[in-house]
Structure 1
């Protein structure tokens, strides 16, 4: 019944376009959002449930506790503290992580080899959570709908489409690297997530200077192709330069926050 209700909501939205709303992103960009928060939450819930079926969940308790520690500190500084966040560590060599509407965070064990410190892991998680806060998934699904792919996305939610349709739907929520269909966030969205994510990690007591090191590590990882995370989150000189320029604003936030941090989230050895 829940699946049918979700299907009806999504199909109605895909056909009607009546819920279109133009708003401003956290950094002042104009956004067109066709879906309500509750609809996006349903999409996120369905996608995360699908990911947990498709991917092996890690049984390493120490790594799981560590990832949860970092994620919990990041989400603890979010404006909305009524949202509960579900964090899952997937057992995979993928160098990747994602966050979805509805309070879901997925991290792959392969990421921990590149994001080798709590601060570097917080860089990735802050960035991914920022995509959710800025409603980038809603923006992506809405853009897809307006360019003719919306019916495929609705079909995927309905379960009426094939695997490729379902993958496109999940890709629109930022899961492109996992399902093999790339619908990357735009440059403006990536820049926005970098700025917001940097502030989140600083307020959570993680050193924002490590964000530069993290993206440098990402650029070096995996040879010319790079890790999976770079399929949808390109690392380049402009990104690193922006992060360096933001240090003057973010370091005071970090210095203020770190004195009050009780849980240091030490990485398992």
Structure 2
């Protein structure tokens, strides 16, 4: 469907991809147009100003059912533009994972704790601020060469239970600096039984990054941080088998692959 033309300037609606995989993010960019509303999967989405354009992030869940979904944009004069987004299935790694030596956890207590902590995390990341604290480019949380120990979406069997790993584990020496992937405000800084020392950063517009198993937390709730600012050190706290950084990214409450999002926004 052609886009509405305002004067002599043709509007431009572009997608970072129209064939995302489970766990990906589709970046929508709209230029030279006035928008009335937009929906994805028949649900309203928000476009916000960024670098002279209107932008929206469409998070694709790691459990999204593969298939065709519609992005519909309504312009101020009632004209429509639609795009079809084809979600593809992704092959996730499978591992058996026990309980760290010396831990008092059992598979049953671990599952119970994870369920409780998920509710607490969801309460933090469900907040959506209209402000955009992040910069147009994101960066890796580690300055050293990345060594991925566990990928996004890994399917872990612990006892008779299945646990999904909605983040990325970067193996790194204890004490390695951990930096914020972009600008934001610390939404929470705390010690968690399972996740260890944890910092959650609100980047605005529903984008949150989570840094877990830290040895040290160098920022407190309410602190403003900039891209690349050191917020903590790699550790081995909580449910952990060795020094590493667990990085999660949530957009509008949906867990997405942080490494692929950082790559999209570099």
Q: Name the larger-Rg structure.
A: 2
**Higher RCO (CA-CA < 8 Å; seq separation 6+):** 1
TM-score for the superposition, normalised by structure 1: 0.27
TM-score for the superposition, normalised by structure 2: 0.27
Q: Higher helix fraction: Structure 1 or Structure 2?
A: 1
